[in-house]
Amino acid sequence: MRQTLSALAALCAFATPVVADGPVVVELYTSQGCSSCPPADEMMHQLAMRSDVIPLALHVDYWDYIGWPDSFADPAHTRRQNQYARVAGARSIYTPQMIIGGEDHVIGTKPMELADSIQAQRADRTGVAVSASRSGNQLMITGDTSRALPNGTVVQVVRFSPQETVDIRRGENAGRSLSYANIVTDWDVVGEWSGRGALNMTVNVSGNAPIVVIVQQPGPGAVMATAVLR
C-alpha cells in the first residue's frame, strides 16, 4: 500500500516545465465492463492534473458482450490497440493497458512502472516540436525538426471530454458509479509530414472540446511531438 501511495503521489506531482517535444501521451485502453479497470481510470484523473502529461482514455468494445455495453466504446480504439500489439509482436490485447509515448506498454494497475515510463519519455528528446493555434473553426498546426525523419510521421488531431460519470447497471461493475477522465471522442489522421521542410497545415474543427495534436511515427510508433489546446 505504501508503494502504491507513493507512486500515485509521483503521478500527481507537477514536474518541471513541459519539454519542447510537448506533453507525454499516455493512452489508456479501458472498458466500463472491465472489473480491473477502475484503478487505472482513477489514475487518469491524477495524470490529468499534470502539465507535462496528456492522458487519453480510449474505451474499447470487446468487453461489451459480458453484459454492459461501454457508452464511450469505439471499434476504432480496439483497432488502434491491435495495431500496437502487432508492432510489439504481442498475440493478444487486454484492459487496462497503458501505452506511453507510443512505445512503452504498461499494465494500467502498475503506477510505479507508469511513473518510470513517463520520466523516461520526458528525458528522451526527439528534436521535433509542434504547436497549434485556433481561430474560429480553423486549427493551425506548425512544426519543425532538427533531425531526419526517414519514415515520416502521421499528424493526428484528437478531441476528448475532460470528465464523465457513468452509473453502471450490469456486468462486472454493476452497481458502481464510475468517473472517467479525458475520454477520447475523436481521433483523426489529418495529414503526413516527412520532416523535409517545416510542417504547416490548417484543419477544420468545431465545438469546444479540448484539442490534442500528435505527431507520431507510422505503425503506430513513437510519438515525436504533441501540442494541446484546452
Q: What is the pLDDT of residues 6-16, one digit of tens each?
A: 555 556 554 44
> Rounded mean pLDDT of 116-137?
95
What residue ranges do the domains of the chain occupy? 2-229
Confidence of residue 125 (pLDDT cuts 50, 70, 90): confident
Confidence of residue 20 (pLDDT cuts 50, 70, 90): low
The mean predicted confidence, pLDDT, of the chain is 92
| pLDDT, tens digit (0-9, with 9 covering 90-100), for 169-222 | 999 999 999 999 999 999 999 999 999 999 999 999 999 999 999 999 999 999
**pLDDT at residue number 9:** 55
| pLDDT, tens digit (0-9, with 9 covering 90-100), for 48-70 | 999 999 999 999 999 999 999 99
> Rounded mean pLDDT of 94-101?
98
> Rounded mean pLDDT of 103-130?
95
Percent of the chain with pLDDT over 70: 91
> Rounded mean pLDDT of 107-126?
94
**pLDDT at residue number 147:** 87
**pLDDT at residue number 197:** 94
Question: If one looks up domain 2-229 in CATH, what number appears?
Answer: 3.40.30.10
C-alpha cell at 139: 486549427
CA atoms within 13 A on the CB side of 134: 17
